Structure 1
Amino acid sequence: MGKDSKPKDSGKGKGKQAAGGSDDGASKGKGKAGKSDGLGTCTYVKARHILCEKQGKINEAYKKLQDGWLNNGEKVPPAEFAKLAAEYSECSSGKKGGDLGWFPRGKMAGPFQDVAFSTTIGATSAPFKSTHGYHIILCEGRKN
């Protein structure tokens, strides 16, 4: 309860200080001193991804996202991202629409974690490379 008493709200996390406790996107731009938009300050992230061994294949998937939503300034609906993940992803999570569920900071390696924890809720990352191949991430939520 009062263990982590910071100047704002000590206690149950109803104030802006603990805005990341909600995964409805309400935490964007609220509270957390130091970092804007609260990016990088949460403990858990919920994400979907597409993983491909070849850069050409991930670029093809990303082009479909761009043509369908990103070039129109819209966010990609999770159900549509899931369809592309099922079609393109070479990861076993592709069968579940690329759903990785909630994972804590420190569970995923290097660039994957960096991108997952810095992508805005509802947004899709640009393609990037990790030791496992090429990825696109859709961030679905954040919490502490």
Structure 2
Amino acid sequence: MGKDGAKAKGKEASGKGKQAGGGGGADKGGAADKGKGKKESKSDGLGTCTYVKARHILAEKQGKIQEAYKKLQEGWLDSGDKVPPAEFAKLAAEYSECPSGKKGGDLGWFPRGKMAGPFQEVAFNTPVGTLSAPFKSTHGYHIILVEGRKN
């Protein structure tokens, strides 16, 4: 599996290079990427996985995404709890302006390199089971709930 994993990582090196090291020499393939990921966060798998499973809420206006985030804070985050995916899905159906909102914001599994800029960066650096802070992309304002990661 090691050689196959290195080949797959080599194909997606451009996305990973931006993520792991800010450009530079990480675009040469799997070996360079592995070294960068190890020094950053070996124990939690952040920045080193190949796929992420996530849900999101997308809104055109910052006020709307802040309102959704406030509901999540008041319901779970303020008390130190994690947001249950089913509850996040209800808010996504109510607030999200993305077609995925009808599916509770479910984006399924996606590989590194599929999502654009800030969205990919946040998704691949948010720990499993946690919620991102609201952030802006070219599509609008987002909140991401990461449900899983794998290589």
TM-score when scaled to structure 2? 0.75
Residue 38 (1) aligns with residue 45 (2):
yes
State the match for 2:54 in structure 1: 47
Whole-angstrom CA distance in 1 between matches of 2:4 and 2:105 = 35
Mapping of 1:55-134 within 5 angstroms?
Answer: 55-134=62-141
Whole-angstrom CA distance in 1 between matches of 2:147 and 2:48 = 16
Q: Counterpart of 2:113 in 1: which secondary structure?
A: coil
Q: Counterpart of 1:38 in 2: which secondary structure?
A: coil
Cα root mean square deviation, aligned: 1.5
C-alpha displacement of 1:78:
0.1
State the match for 1:3 in structure 2: 3
- Work out the percentage of aligned pairs sharing the same amino acid: 84
Count residues in correspondence. Answer: 118
1:34-83 Cα deviation digits (max 9, x unpaired): 22222010000000000000000000000000000001111000000000
Structure number having the greater helix percentage: 2
Q: Counterpart of 1:142 in 2: which secondary structure?
A: strand
Distance 1:54 1:122, change over 3 A: same
Amino acid at match of 2:49: C
C-alpha displacement of 1:116:
0.3
Gaps of at least 5 residues in structure 1 are 6-31
Q: Counterpart of 2:52 in 1: which secondary structure?
A: strand
Whole-angstrom CA distance in 2 between matches of 1:140 and 1:53 = 24
TM-score when scaled to structure 1? 0.79
Amino acid at match of 1:60: E
